[in-house]
Structure 1
Amino acid sequence: MEQQYVKYKVNDRIATITLNRPEKRNALNAQVVTELKNAFTEAANDAEAKVIVLAAEGDAFCAGADLAYLQSLQKNTYEENLEDSSHLKELFHQIYTHPKVVIAKIQGHAIAGGSGLATVCDYSFTVPKAMFGYTEVRIGFIPAIVMVFLLRKIGEGKSKELLLSGELIDAERAVSMGLINNVVEADLLDQAVQEFADRLVKKNSGQSMTYTKQMIASVQEMSLEAGLDFAAAQNAKARASEDCQKGIGAFLNKEKPTW
């Protein structure tokens, strides 16, 4: 599928989805969101891809919404704006619930919707110079969709600190708040992400990672009793899976399973 702003490739079972709009700091508009959705759908259906890396070209990871595009939407009806907003909602939900692990490789600033993309990924690596923040309140907008995911990720207190202030934080602060997983020097970023993705590919069952990720997304909405019932059912289901039988058999035979 030919795409203008998003590139897709697979190498050694790692799919790399790359934002490729550096002249606009990889800002999001309807076409970019569509192309991201297309790429994540392709990765979900790609038997050669076990893990996904979300990356970007240029100095910035993603500057958030394209403000010229956002301004043009002010002429829309409520129904038209709801359709466009739902488009972004679907992308964030797609990444958050994607059957494959998604690793963000953040080589530069991730602002507003860019921080939103980082929020919904499963792991994130960044560089010391990168800044993060949800700056929507500073332009009279609101960080509505990402808020749903950020509250889950870092809790109410830290979310309020970021969402209500609109202030930017550096990479180390982002790690301390639980927004980002790792900070590495810029010249080591590619290597660090590659090594981490390789470990997931070679050491972990893809099926097990899928089930675990899906459970994390689901159980938070349940009561304690409902969550435990769901967990017990998933536990029983996993025992009968091919990967579980293969993994336990290899362990008992003192072998390493080949995933």
Structure 2
Amino acid sequence: MAAERALLTITLNRPAERNSITADLLAELGAALDLAEHSPQCRMVVLRAEGDTFCSGMDLAGVAAADGTPAEQAERGGAEYFALLRRLTTIGRIVVSEVDGEVVGGGVGLVAASDLVHATARSRFSLPEALWGLLPCSVLPFLIRRVGFQQAYAMALSTLPVDAERAERCRLVDELADDPGPARRRLLFRASKLDPATVADLKSYLRRLWILDEGTERSAVDEFVRLMGSDQVRRRIAGFAAGQGLTGPRP
């Protein structure tokens, strides 16, 4: 995490684990957003990653080995993850995801909940959850808000990756460039002139124009808990974790 006056940069830095989502990561991201909110000078938060994978989503190995009942794990993890995505859409700072590489599962949620997304041409986005009997329960409300129903549905149903050019066409990506620096500097210049309260007000107003409320959150978490309660789903997750991800033809 690095702060430069009006800009706070958060770097996902577990490339060996493909920057997967763990309870520790969610807590660290929350602490970073606290820092941004408590800094009067901060106007923009950039989320980036080290390695070839921006974020691989849920830590499958951790889920397969975790203590506690499946329902307890799913309730806690699902609620914490959804709360983070919701916070990205409410915080009074501009949140930008700078993507360079693979974005999988819950990583797509981080991107979709960001205010703006800048990506390189080698970036790819996919929702593979259906392959092990799950659904991207918490991702879909934010993804539908960003790209529309059919595109989000197609990604979840097909599980096929979407390349950077297509992601830009469907507005999952706002700007495509090999170097995100110029776009970041242009945006930061404008962001530095905005009052954080104005940013928060805009986000709050737009949330009222879109169906994304406590009922949506409860529905997402409940469905995740139901699916994670299946022994078959957990066996398939353990199998994917042991195999270290997906294999298959690249489109």
TM-score, reference length from structure 1: 0.76
1:103 to 90, 96, 101: 96
Aligned: 1:92 with 2:92: no
Q: Does 30-39 or 78-87 show the bigger shift?
A: 78-87
Q: Which runs of 5+ in 2 are unaligned?
A: 213-251
1:117 aligned residue: 110
1:22 aligned residue: 15
2:183 aligned residue: 192
2:204 aligned residue: 214
- SS state of the match for residue 53, structure 2? coil
1:201 aligned residue: 192
Alignment of 1:23-38 (within 5 A): 23-38=16-31
Alpha-carbon distance in 2 for matches of 1:208, 1:87: 26
8 Å contact 2:26–2:84 — kept in the other structure?
Answer: yes
Deviation at 1:74, TM superposition (A): 8.2
1:145 to 138, 144, 161: 138
1:174 aligned residue: 167
1:65 aligned residue: 58
RMSD: 1.8
8 Å contact 1:158–1:177 — kept in the other structure?
Answer: yes
1:45 aligned residue: 38
The aligned amino acid for 1:217 is R
Q: Deviations over 1:29-49 (max 9, x none)?
A: 111111111111221122121
Q: Share of identical aligned residues, percent?
A: 27
Flag the 1:73–1:141 CA change in 2: closer, same or farther, 3 A. farther
- SS state of the match for residue 134, structure 2? coil
1:76 aligned residue: 69
Deviation at 1:162, TM superposition (A): 0.9
- SS state of the match for residue 192, structure 2? helix
The aligned amino acid for 2:151 is K
1:254 aligned residue: none
8 Å contact 2:90–2:200 — kept in the other structure?
Answer: no
Q: Deviations over 1:26-73 (max 9, x none)?
A: 111111111111111221122121111111122221111111012124
8 Å contact 2:108–2:125 — kept in the other structure?
Answer: yes
The aligned amino acid for 2:150 is G
Deviation at 1:126, TM superposition (A): 0.3
Q: Tell me: higher relative CO, structure 1 or 2? Use CA pairs within 8 A at least 6 residues apart.
A: 2
The aligned amino acid for 1:218 is R
Alignment of 1:155-174 (within 5 A): 155-174=148-167
Flag the 1:142–1:60 CA change in 2: closer, same or farther, 3 A. same
Alpha-carbon distance in 2 for matches of 1:138, 1:35: 29
Alpha-carbon distance in 2 for matches of 1:71, 1:177: 34
Q: Deviations over 1:108-145 (max 9, x none)?
A: 21111111110000000000001001111122221000
8 Å contact 1:53–1:103 — kept in the other structure?
Answer: yes
- SS state of the match for residue 140, structure 2? helix
Alpha-carbon distance in 2 for matches of 1:74, 1:129: 37
TM-score, reference length from structure 2: 0.79
2:243 aligned residue: none
The aligned amino acid for 1:213 is K
8 Å contact 1:30–1:84 — kept in the other structure?
Answer: yes
The aligned amino acid for 2:83 is E
2:237 aligned residue: none
- SS state of the match for residue 18, structure 1? strand
Aligned: 1:131 with 2:114: no
8 Å contact 2:92–2:198 — kept in the other structure?
Answer: no
